[in-house]
């Protein structure tokens, strides 16, 4: 018998799961923003350019500027949030399964401050939505895992 069920429901473990969920949610929000802006440009700019031919150069310049900005900044923000979320999930798993951290594969261990920051709102609010979120991450692995 192991301690998986006990460890996975400790405050530090729940915080890690809430933090990674929050980060993945934020990454998805950035992805939707990027897609929305790109789709808006793809639909609106040709229509405006056709209606007002003198604006075609400026619209192309704005679109090019957005895509450069998207590639440099928004893509980086989205990727960094997903990367940190994956590292936090890895930290949770190594803790729950009592495995050593593999720095070669996973890089540096995520800071506890990051986990604290991204789990703070969800962990301390006393609303129905937060209780639902906490309940969703409790018993992350089934109870049968403790018999492994």
Residues 6+ apart with CB under 8 A from 26: 81
Please report, rounded to a whole number, the percentage of residues in the chain having pLDDT higher than 90. 69
Task: Let me know: does 62 contact 40? Beta carbons within 8 Å.
Answer: no
**Among residues 6, 7, 2, 24, which one has the least CA distance to residue 122?**
24
Residues 6+ apart with CB under 8 A from 10: none
Q: Give ∠ CA 112-23-67 in degrees, rounded to 5.
A: 130
Distance, CA of 144 to CA of 72 (rounded, Å): 45
> Is residue 1 pLDDT above 70, yes or no?
no
List the single range of 2-6, 99-103, 113-117, 133-137 with lowest mean pLDDT: 133-137
Ramachandran quadrant class, 98 (left: phi over 0; alpha: psi -120 to 50; beta: rest): left
Distance, CA of 106 to CA of 86 (rounded, Å): 9
Q: What is the mean pLDDT of residues 23-49?
A: 96
């Amino acid at each position: 018998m192991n301690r998986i069920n006990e460890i996975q429901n400790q405050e530090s473990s729940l915080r890690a799961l809430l933090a990674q969920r929050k980060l993945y949610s934020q990454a998805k929000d950035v992805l939707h923003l990027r897609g929305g802006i790109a789709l808006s440009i793809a639909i609106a700019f040709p229509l405006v350019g056709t209606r007002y031919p003198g604006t075609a150069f400026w619209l192309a310049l704005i679109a090019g500027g957005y895509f450069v900005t998207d590639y440099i900044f928004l893509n980086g923000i989205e990727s960094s949030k997903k990367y940190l979320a994956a590292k936090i999930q890895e930290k949770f798993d190594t803790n729950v399964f009592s495995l050593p951290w593999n720095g070669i594969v996973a890089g540096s261990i995520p800071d506890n401050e990051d986990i604290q920051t991204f789990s703070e709102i969800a962990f301390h609010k006393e609303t129905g939505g937060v209780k639902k979120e906490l309940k969703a991450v409790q018993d992350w692995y089934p109870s049968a895992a403790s018999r492994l």
